[in-house]
Chain A
Amino acid sequence: MNSVILHTATRILTSLILMFSIYILYRGHNEPGGGFIGGLIAASGIILYSVAFGSSWARHGLRASGLSVAGAGLFFAALSGVLSGIHGKPFLTGLWYFPKLGIEAKVALSTPLLFDIGVYLVVVGALTTIALELEEARD
């Protein structure tokens, strides 16, 4: 779409939306948010970009194809489930690790976080694929 306002706004908005989506993904475990909603937000950012500048620029910016992103997401989600098997626990049992960093903040690493990242990537990848494919279908 050839609109200066859209172009200028999109440049700023897309990066903000993507950052916000990661924030939403991260805070999801304790406050409203999570991988699914984060993924939706990120997907709308990318779709906005492709509407403004065209799908080929959106693809260029994405580097990886949407399906690869979705595939990676599935892989992470499945991996997070298998990890519990190492400890002899049932598939998808949550494992938690609190590294001692010697600083004020508390950091928690866990398989549910990995799982949520997987969900995020699947949603981004699948929706981007659908939108970009449909956008290009006109040619």
Chain B
Amino acid sequence: MMSSAVISGFVLGAFAPWLTRTVGERVHWLLAILPAVLFAYFAQFLPVVAAGESVRVASEWVPGLDVALSFYLDGLSLIFALLITGIGTFIVLYAGGYLHGHAQLGRFFLYLLSFMGSMLGLVLADNVITLFVFWELTSITSFLLIGFSHTAPKSRRAAMQALVVTGGGGLALLAGLLIMASVAGTSELSQILSDPEVLTSSALYVPMTILVLLGAFSKSAQFPLHFWLPNAMEAPTPVSAYLHSSTMVKAGVYLLARVSPGLGGTDFWFYALVIFGTTTMLVGGFLAMRQSDLKLVLAYTTVAALGTLTMLIGLGGDYAFKAMALFLITHAFYKGGLFMVAGSIDHGTGTRDALQLGGLARPMPVTFAVAVLLGLSMAGIIPFVGFIAKEVMYEATLHVGATALILVTAAAVLGNAFNVVAAGIVGLRPFLSAHKATPHHPHEAPPSMLIGPIALAALGLFCGVAFPITAEYVAAPVMASLNGLPVGEQGAELYLWHGIKPPLILSLVTLALGALGFAFWPQMRAGIAAILRAIGWGPDHGYDQAISGLERLAYAATRVQQTGYLRHYLMATFVVVAVFMLVTLFTMGGLPSEFRLPTVYLPEVIALALLVGGAVVATVVYSRVAAVAAIGVVGYAVALLFLIFSAPDLAFTQFRVETLTVVILVLVLMRVPLEVSAFRGRAGRLRDAVIAIAVGASISLVLLAATQGPLDLRLSEYFIENSVPVAHGHNIVNVILVDFRALDTLGEIFVVTIAGLSCFGLVRLALSRRKATRAEVPPAQRTRATETPGGDA
């Protein structure tokens, strides 16, 4: 059932273009049924998981490699599955409104639903290979979605960049997961992580952790790999709201949380996650302040939020894990909602630049109300769940060991203050400040685009007010997954109000700082822009430099390796063959120990004479056609030998192949102009002679040595015995070709077809190119050039 839940997204996605064509523009209401049903399906596990149980289903996939299609549902994966399907429902609806009338709406839903399936697979996967496959699928679907407006160069670049960064990290992750699996001796995560000692005490602990972190950090946009995420805002807004705030970018965080019981608890883990997480939190918040594009403000605060989550996982302990669980859902709610609000503003006014927006409260009242609710949760105001998350976060930072306490707490306060400012920029400023003229006359968003933000805002309020429910169904199960203890053994209690204590004071400081920042936002913006100009280099630019360096390297390498001359390729092949064989023969032994001339009969002498004669003629004649014919003679002589040694099938085939080769080669040579420069000089001939003799000598030596030993006839005997009873055929060669070794033959005929295709492509390409160059020269000029040969042309 769980595998069908994962696969259903891909299946419905495959039919989405057809459904969109058939049903028309209201198709999103139909398509949204699937994520809604999946949400209901996963929601029924809430009581089970809250009671401390987990569900695991497995079916074989590639049993030989210990790869199973196994899924595991515990607190962490359940909350993620609910976020994916729940927000997914609203995103499908929202996308229907946002991309209303778009010509490629069906394709968009195909990508979106496939992404949903991939993401579900990723968070539910128990087998490391299954996890990796779905991990890569999310990268690929994300690539397709970012590049959805494929005619825009910017979105193509952003899509490529996201794929390179997250795909590169994915490779590191694969290596890390494989090391984990081999150290633990099983590929099932639930078993790998059951005994933390095994991984942390392994000699490979640091390498595997670094590899896993690389994967997680690239996916979750941790500094300095954060740059792809803001660029990914080129995607349509529903994609940003779904992939690049609430789900896909959290895959890295999910992974960290998932492996935390196994890899966590060490100093290395603590410092790596806390340092990178905190830096990302601050850099993201800082850069968000410079932006005025609503989506970019949200994107950079998403980077900051991902840093916060990483930091919390790194800090460890009950408070940090509780804060992580709360902040995870809080952020998904308000960020998904605010992205949709930003999209609605863009949709309604034609711009999403905060500096050009103002006074939207009157024309867009519902959006305004929703934006305020979402903004309050983002800013962490009582009684929203954002408030509780922030309180618990401060509780967590205040419980860090003495030295780091001040640093981490200060960073958290600053990071949250940035959030408050961003909440103001997106949730208040466009609506309240003085009215400004916008490209479109502002209008309220359609219901399909309102339902999502409204629901998410309501959830943010509900989870805050009904905090005991949040504690039981969200905090406790997620904490159980994070620290590997049974549900109920952690202090998952939440409080909306627990008196005037340090966290509350820090909250007030945060709000004050945030309000101050919001008031002086334009000045702060200018200041940050000046600082960034002074630095003048960023990871995004570094990415371009790395890519262009790679291109130059590849170009240089290609120029050395690929000369385009067949003779160079052949030369390289033959030299390698000869050198390897001779070196092996002389260093490892295996040279023939004796040479006995067998009795040679007249027919064999004639065949050999033909063979040698043909070879000699081929090397000495100047005419290419004559050389081809001489090589044909060599082939015929070999066929003759086959015939003499009673292999009629081989002989027949060889005769036909030789004939056809000569015909085809002559067809080619008739087109190739014979230039003087095409002939080799003395040095060239000498070089080729040396190579030819070396190849001939090495092969002769190997053959002589091979025929000295006893011939193993077991295989031949097997074929002879079984050819008639098993395969009903008396011709063993043919039976081997079409029955015993049919798979080899299938491969070979594929190669033959590809050869035909390539020849077709090459000739047609050359023809069309020649025609194109001919067409470029105007007819008048062409005739003049032919009339006066050797003229100034």
Q: Which residues of A contact B (CB under 8 A)?
A: 28-37, 40-41, 43-44, 47, 51, 66-67, 70-71, 73-74, 77-78, 81, 91-92, 94, 96, 108, 110, 112-113, 115-116, 118-119, 122-123, 125-127, 129-131, 133-139
Residue of B nearest to A47 (CB): B663
CB within 8 Å for A37 and B656 given contacts A29-B730, A29-B731, A92-B746: yes
A67 CA to B761 CA, complexed, in Å? 11
Kindly list chain A residues whose C-beta atoms are within 8 Å of the C-beta of B649: 32-34, 37
Q: Which of B659, B750, B753, B760 has the most CB of A within 10 A?
A: B753
Kindly list chain A residues whose C-beta atoms are within 8 Å of the C-beta of B727: 94, 112
Kindly list chain B residues whose C-beta atoms are within 8 Å of the C-beta of A77: 745-746, 749
Residue of B nearest to A117 (CB): B738
Give the shortest distance, in Å, between A126 (CB) and chain B (any CB): 3
Q: Is the CB of B738 within 8 A of A34?
A: yes
**Which of B411-419, B438-446, B706-714, B763-771 makes up part of the contact surface?**
B763-771
CB within 8 Å for A44 and B656 given contacts A31-B730, A67-B760: yes
**Which of B330-338, B362-370, B514-522, B666-674 makes up part of the contact surface?**
B666-674
Q: Is the CB of B759 within 8 A of A134?
A: yes
Size of the chain B interface, CB-CB below 8 angstroms: 43
Those of B714-772 within 8 Å (CB) of chain A? 726-731, 733-735, 737-739, 742-743, 745-746, 749-750, 752-753, 755-757, 759-760, 763-764, 766-767
Q: Which residues of B contact A (CB under 8 A)?
A: 648-649, 652-653, 656-657, 659-660, 663-664, 667-668, 670-671, 726-731, 733-735, 737-739, 742-743, 745-746, 749-750, 752-753, 755-757, 759-760, 763-764, 766-767
Give the shortest distance, in Å, between A85 (CB) and chain B (any CB): 14
A123 CA to B657 CA, complexed, in Å? 11
Kindly list chain A residues whose C-beta atoms are within 8 Å of the C-beta of B759: 129-130, 133-134
Q: Is the CB of B737 within 8 A of A34?
A: yes
Kindly list chain B residues whose C-beta atoms are within 8 Å of the C-beta of A116: 734, 737-738
Q: Is the CB of A134 within 8 A of B671?
A: yes
Give the shortest distance, in Å, between A122 (CB) and chain B (any CB): 4
Q: Is the CB of A123 within 8 A of B738?
A: no
CB within 8 Å for A81 and B763 given contacts A44-B656, A112-B738, A134-B664: no
Q: Is the CB of A74 within 8 A of B753?
A: yes
Q: Which of B649, B660, B742 has the most CB of A within 10 A?
A: B742
Q: Is the CB of B734 within 8 A of A33?
A: yes
Q: Is the CB of A130 within 8 A of B755?
A: yes
Q: Is the CB of A32 within 8 A of B659?
A: no
Kindly list chain A residues whose C-beta atoms are within 8 Å of the C-beta of B743: 81, 91-92
A21 CA to B517 CA, complexed, in Å? 87
Q: Is the interface of A mostly helix, strand, loop or mixed?
A: helix
Q: Is the CB of A133 within 8 A of B764?
A: yes
Q: Is the CB of A44 within 8 A of B753?
A: no
* B667: contacting residue among A31, A91, A135, CB under 8 A: A135
Q: Is the CB of B737 within 8 A of A36?
A: yes
A115 CA to B656 CA, complexed, in Å? 21
Q: Is the CB of A126 within 8 A of B746?
A: no
A32 CA to B735 CA, complexed, in Å? 11
* B731: contacting residue among A34, A70, A78, CB under 8 A: A34
* A44: contacting residue among B659, B728, B738, B763, CB under 8 A: B659
Q: Is the CB of A133 within 8 A of B763?
A: yes
A122 CA to B102 CA, complexed, in Å? 44
Kindly list chain A residues whose C-beta atoms are within 8 Å of the C-beta of B752: 70, 122-123, 126
A74 CA to B747 CA, complexed, in Å? 10
Q: Is the CB of A78 within 8 A of B734?
A: no
A26 CA to B610 CA, complexed, in Å? 33
Give the shortest distance, in Å, between A1 (CB) and chain B (any CB): 12
Q: Is the CB of B656 within 8 A of A137?
A: no
Ranked nearest first, the 7 interchain pairs of A and B with the lowest CB-CB distance are A126-B756, A40-B656, A30-B730, A32-B648, A122-B749, A129-B756, A29-B729
Q: Is the CB of B668 within 8 A of A134?
A: yes
CB within 8 Å for A70 and B660 given contacts A32-B652, A137-B671: no
Residue of B nearest to A121 (CB): B749
A113 CA to B731 CA, complexed, in Å? 13
Residue of B nearest to A136 (CB): B763
CB within 8 Å for A81 and B742 given contacts A129-B759, A133-B763: yes
Kindly list chain B residues whose C-beta atoms are within 8 Å of the C-beta of A94: 726-728, 739, 742
Kindly list chain B residues whose C-beta atoms are within 8 Å of the C-beta of A30: 729-731
